[in-house]
Structure 1
Amino acid sequence: MAVLKIHSDIVDEETRQMNLFWIGVDGTSFDSVDAFIESIPEDDNNIELRLNCRGGNCMEGWTIYDKLRSTGKEITAIIEGKCASMASVLLLAAPKERRYAYQNATLLIHNPYIPPYTLADAYDAEDLRRMAEDLEVETTKIVNLYVDRTGSEEDVLRALMAEDKFVDMDKAKELGFISEVKPPISAKEKQPKKWNHSKTNNMNQEKKVTVAQAFQMLGVALGVVKAPIVSLDLSTADGSTLTVEREEGEPQVGDTASPDGEHLMPDGSTIVVEGGVITEIRDPEEKNNNDELDAANARIAELEAELTSLRAQAKSQDELVILNKVKTMGGLEGLKKIASSYVPDARGFQGNQGAQGGNGDPVSLIDKKLAEKREAHKKKFNK
């Protein structure tokens, strides 16, 4: 079974890449989901969709929904935390009998709207009418899907969307968004999670502190009231979630946590959870930068020595061409075979067959003629 975790906002690919580059926060785009689906082996016909998502871009969400439905694979969806706004559309990619949620999960459906940060400085009446019409079309589109995939009445769904509030999983089951609330695996009782919704989240509302909450916080500060257990949802290095129950501060050994296992955190530390309790927190492994620097410098010195040796042995391009030609012709023996043996006339040595001088050296024809001339002159003057 292929597990597709949607634990981040639904955004287009360009926004996803910009967020990764500038703030290091990932998102869920059609491109990332499409790449995941393409990586699933052909013989794997099951996709488990795990949702903990605030929602996001409507157009991108519809594209992902259509892609999931078009795979022809058996899709199961589980709400692991929150399933808000456009994430509720992705939930409905699975059939009702295979839509589940955990006990403390929450669901939010609401009317789509245009986030304020996307608005221009000014609009005329026609601009506003056109935007209102587009929002009505999108709202109707979402409502029609809800009715078709949940079986609830349209007026009931529209009323809940207008309230723009989170509901628990009992209500979600009643409305037909899920078929079953999964019981906790362990028998341990767990406090409901407290959700902190950011103002920048275009799919949620900002929480307001009530008078009762103010008195509660004051009582905790005075030591009259015991601070409630707070569930801290920490993101690990691989993107999964580690839940730690403590009053405040950083996780400590002895804190209640889940799930069990060794969790590598973004800062390099490792939190070990056994039996639902943190048993060890390992500090990040420190690297000996000096050793690494010395090793790098030693390697650089080796490479420089090798380069110097190679340069000393190197030959020019012309020399290499000539050497290669000589080798292809058979080396020195080949050169001897093709060397010219021609000797111009009157320059060759006569050897034993030619005349020799007084010291036995060979005499050329010119020297011989000159000797004859000198001898003739001597005879002429001696008469």
Structure 2
Amino acid sequence: MVADPTIPKVPFEVPSEEEPTWVEVFYRLFRGRILFLGKPLDDESADAILKSMVYLNQENPTQNLYLFTHCRGGGMASGVAIYDFMQYLTGEVITIGVGLNASMGAFILHGGTRGKRAITPNGRMMIHQPYLSSYDDEEEEEEDDDDPDFKFEDPGFEAFYLRYLRQYITNMYVETSGTDYDTIHSLMERDHYLDPHTSVNLGLVDQVGTFGLWPPPKEDEGDEDYEEYEYYEDYEDDEPFDDNW
């Protein structure tokens, strides 16, 4: 297989070798238990994240896992699958939102371990009424050999499944945020953009900035580094956020 020249490589130290080996950056991050969701969620990206989580949890069931998200939405079924699996991991899942996390991106970001969910100072969340997108309507090319009468697209089931997932997503926001149902339901009636401070106040994430979460704390960090991260943690908006942003 020919290596992709567009993927950067970084040095990776192998205990049995004197010189570091240059590997693709994704491999090095994976070995550090760091995952990224940086695109709208489809079946392929969801499958990759789920398989990575399974492997890392099996490799070390007690160690933390980091999930960085910059996801503007995508398949609702795929997003719920990732969210559900995150709840069953035995180690803590630290989620860090950068850029814009909308729809399923916001849902996955808020699904990390409570107390370990962060958003960067310039990050945004967008929540709304979930709906089946084009990522949920990908055509199946293969037929079910066990049931030749099976049809992937069933309007009746699709309508039921949509109602069910809408209610499930709303309930999970309420349960994990501590915000009352009426407030969450009202916010989700339309596209609602949330600045970092509002996201924290609603309980969708726990802090602004990554102090204490990322990078992993080191004993030799000086006071200057501490003050920088502390500023992000205490970040507040001076003026109300314009929801039309």
The residue that corresponds to 2:38 in the other structure is 7
The residue that corresponds to 1:100 in the other structure is 118
Contact 2:76-2:131 at 8 Å conserved across structures:
no
Kindly report which structure 2 residues correspond to 1:92-241, keeping only aligned pairs within 5 A, or say none.
92-115=110-133, 118=137, 131-182=158-209
CA apart distance, 1:101: 0.8
CA apart distance, 1:106: 0.5
Contact 1:10-1:56 at 8 Å conserved across structures:
yes
Contact 1:65-1:89 at 8 Å conserved across structures:
yes
Alignment CA distance shift 1:44-1:178 (3 Å): same
SS in 2 for 1:50: strand
CA apart distance, 1:67: 2.1
The residue that corresponds to 2:52 in the other structure is 35
Alignment CA distance shift 1:153-1:56 (3 Å): same
For 2:165 and 2:124, how far apart are their aligned partners in 1?
23
Q: Which amino acid aligns with 1:68?
A: M
Q: Provide, for residues 152-205 of structure 1, a one-character-per-residue CA deviation record: whole Å limited to 9, x for no partner.
A: 111111111112131111111111011111176699xxxxxxxxxxxxxxxxxx
SS in 1 for 2:118: strand
Contact 1:95-1:149 at 8 Å conserved across structures:
no
CA RMSD of aligned residues (A): 3.1
CA apart distance, 1:90: 1.6
For 1:147 and 1:5, how far apart are their aligned partners in 2?
26
Contact 1:85-1:109 at 8 Å conserved across structures:
yes
Q: Provide, for residues 104-140 of structure 1, a one-character-per-residue CA deviation record: whole Å limited to 9, x for no partner.
A: 10001111223379499xxxxxx87765443322211
| Total equivalences in the alignment | 169
Structure with the larger helix share: 1
Unaligned runs of 5+ in 2: 1-31, 140-153, 211-227, 232-243
Alignment CA distance shift 1:186-1:144 (3 Å): closer
Q: Which amino acid aligns with 1:34?
A: K
Which of the pair has the greater relative contact order for Cα pairs under 8 Å at 6+ separation?
2
SS in 1 for 2:65: strand
Q: Provide, for residues 32-85 of structure 1, a one-character-per-residue CA deviation record: whole Å limited to 9, x for no partner.
A: 431354146427611111111112111111221222222201111111111111
SS in 1 for 2:189: helix
For 1:80 and 1:119, how far apart are their aligned partners in 2?
28
Unaligned runs of 5+ in 1: 14-27, 121-126, 188-206, 209-383
Q: Which amino acid aligns with 2:125?
A: L
Alignment CA distance shift 1:36-1:111 (3 Å): same
Contact 1:2-1:44 at 8 Å conserved across structures:
no
SS in 2 for 1:48: strand
Q: Which amino acid aligns with 1:174?
A: N
Q: Does the alignment pair 1:77 with 2:104?
A: no
The residue that corresponds to 2:85 in the other structure is 67
SS in 2 for 1:29: helix
For 2:101 and 2:190, how far apart are their aligned partners in 1?
16
The residue that corresponds to 1:90 in the other structure is 108
TM-score between both structures, scaled by the size of structure 1: 0.39
For 2:63 and 2:138, how far apart are their aligned partners in 1?
43
Alignment CA distance shift 1:131-1:79 (3 Å): same
TM-score between both structures, scaled by the size of structure 2: 0.59
Q: Which amino acid aligns with 2:117?
A: R
Between structure 1 and structure 2, the one with the greater Rg is: 1
For 2:67 and 2:155, how far apart are their aligned partners in 1?
37
For 2:84 and 2:71, how far apart are their aligned partners in 1?
18
For 1:131 and 1:63, how far apart are their aligned partners in 2?
17
Q: Provide, for residues 292-311 of structure 1, a one-character-per-residue CA deviation record: whole Å limited to 9, x for no partner.
A: xxxxxxxxxxxxxxxxxxxx
Q: Which amino acid aligns with 1:113?
A: Y
SS in 2 for 1:62: helix
Q: Does the alignment pair 1:54 with 2:72?
A: yes
